A and B are shown apart, each in its own frame.
Chain A
Amino acid sequence: MAASLAAEMAQRAVRALEQRGPTRHGSGFTCDLSPAELVAIEAAGCEPLELVMGSAIWHVGFQMLPSWSSGGEITQLSQAMYGAREAAMRRMEREAASVGADGIVGVRISIDFHRWGAGLAEFSTVGTAIRSRSRRASLRTPRGSVFTSDLSGQDLWTLLRTGYRPLGLVMGSCVYISSRQSVGAWLGSRTRNVELTNLTEGMYTARELAMERMDREARSYGADGIVGVKLTERAHAWGNRVIEFLALGTAVHRWTDQIDAAPPSMVLPLDR
């Protein structure tokens, strides 16, 4: 930008600040987007509406554990972890729908097992509700509901130009307690270099279950695929034998075969 053009931009901005009139209370958007995300979302033909959130505080119950030596899924915990996240997500979606949004971007799901006290888990979700500027190009899902995704503004822009649309944030959870070895097996193997096959199998199964549940959710949306799957393993507050495997990603569907994009150009950044 030439120097005079730059100065003109600055002067326009300052004059706008001097001359602006009062706005109505409650008008305007709120978001937790960075300016770069805001630019990307506007370039994608959308506008931010409101920062939306959902919370669910859960009392995690008690369950008879699977038999001491065999290990296995703790179904009650799996269901609680899934149900609580689902409740927080639904509240956030309701809020977005009530402001007329097409969808929610940049969704973050967090869990806290400490701050409300022992035995209580807090699930919260936060994201920015957005809407397409043109009513004809609504980004709502084919069923007419609000889409959710953990994609950034830039990701949304890129995804749309590649011919896909986000449908929903899909997840699968499996809380698993690993088995203990029998005393005989332990005595037999502890001084040898061996694979602990029952542990391998247990972990393997738990991961599979989490991903399978996520896939099932995506299929129920009618998705063509899932992008950005993250598989996390956390021992929340149950000691190190009990682990939650969580699979999380954004289900997408193809809506056009046209790829509306100039091929990306390559840049060599000069910063470190």
Chain B
Amino acid sequence: MTGDPRRAWGSTLSVAELAAIRSCGFRPVGQVMGSCVHQFWPGIYGTGMYGGAGIMGGGLYGGYSLTQELPEYAGALRRARRLALDRMSAEAAGAHGVVGVRLNLRRVDVGASVIEFTALGTAVQADGLTPEPGFRPFLSLLSGTDFARLLRSGYVPCGVVMGVCALWVASGWRTAMQLGSWYGQEVQQYSEAAMRARDLAMASLRRDMAEVSADGAVGGDVTMEIHEWEGGRGPEHMVEFLSLGTAVTRFFDGPARDDLPHPVIRLT
């Protein structure tokens, strides 16, 4: 994509987004897309990740007495995301960046653990500047208007970052006793697992941030899913923690005094 002036550009931008981007000296050059369908092979954990009918539900996990990570699952998510974004970046070659990226995770077939990542966004270029060869376009999950807000306050997006962790949760005899108790109480083993999954996911988000030399990450969308199934010795759990955000880099020290926001009362 070179932003051929004879060709009309396509974009998912609204009119307000277009105006916002133009006000910061960027213009759209075209719509770009990337996708990847990836299978997750869980190794010895089993194939019935969600149903509880496969090896995992049937007792092969039994050796685990400790809460631990399932690196294959997190790895599949990371790899699929990376491939989808790389393909979108390749389509945007010749542009400076891609804004309004919509990154969708879809579980194509739950039983066989197939996931699809799709990324769709609008490539943009800075006025009066052509990217140097080898320049990696920046990617941003933010809308065009949010992009303009960031730029005016001194930040430029530099990439999409993801933190992910899948954790198998061990249940010991103490947890079993707590679950059977008549008294209300905290189940520490589960609380600790949730907190640990979060810590590990945020650490992987930080690694992604360091990779793109980020000064920060905004709009971190945090989701935690718990998959529960009936195991040989009672309920089994897997905690999946996913957080997605846009990494940003500072390029000037905040807006001038007269560019600070001022309060308004909306008349609608």
Contact = CB atoms under 8 A, between A and B. Distances in A.
A56 B132 CA distance: 51
Contacts of A59: 178-179, 181, 184-187
Contact of A57 (B24, B131, B187, B213): B187
Contacts of B207: 25
A116 B210 contact: no
Contacts of B243: 51
A173 interface: no
B215 A29 contact: yes
A94 B225 CA distance: 24
B213 A7 contact: no
Given A12-B251, A12-B252, A23-B210, A266 B264 contact: yes
A26 B206 contact: yes
A17 B156 contact: yes
Contacts of B16: 271
A34 interface: yes
Contacts of B91: none
Secondary structure at chain B's binding surface: helix, strand, loop or mixed? mixed
A212 to B, nearest CB: 22
Interface in B22-36: 22-26
Which interface residue of B187, B222, B245, B265 has the most chain A CB atoms within 10 A? B187
A32 B178 CA distance: 34
Interface in B236-268: 237, 243, 245, 249-252, 254, 260-268
Contact of B216 (A36, A48, A54, A267): A48
A43 B262 CA distance: 10
Interface in B156-208: 156, 158, 178-179, 181-187, 190-191, 194-195, 198, 202, 205-207
A114 B73 CA distance: 23
A124 B224 contact: yes
A157 B26 CA distance: 29
| Interface residue range, chain A | 35 or more
A9 interface: yes
Contact of B251 (A13, A24, A30): A13
A122 interface: yes
B146 A36 contact: yes
A160 interface: no
Contact of B219 (A32, A91, A115, A267): A32
A168 to B, nearest CB: 22
Contact of A117 (B129, B142, B186, B235): B235
Interface of A: 1, 3, 5-14, 16-18, 20-36, 38-40, 42-43, 48, 51, 53-62, 76-77, 79-80, 84, 87, 91, 115-117, 119-120, 122, 124, 126, 157-158, 161, 261-262, 264-269, 271
Pairs of residues from A and B, 8 with the lowest C-beta to C-beta distance, nearest first: A10-B25, A61-B184, A16-B251, A10-B126, A6-B25, A57-B190, A55-B194, A264-B263
Given A10-B127, A264-B263, 12 more contacts: A14-B126, A22-B210, A23-B209, A28-B216, A31-B220, A32-B219, A51-B202, A59-B186, A122-B190, A262-B263, A264-B264, A267-B264
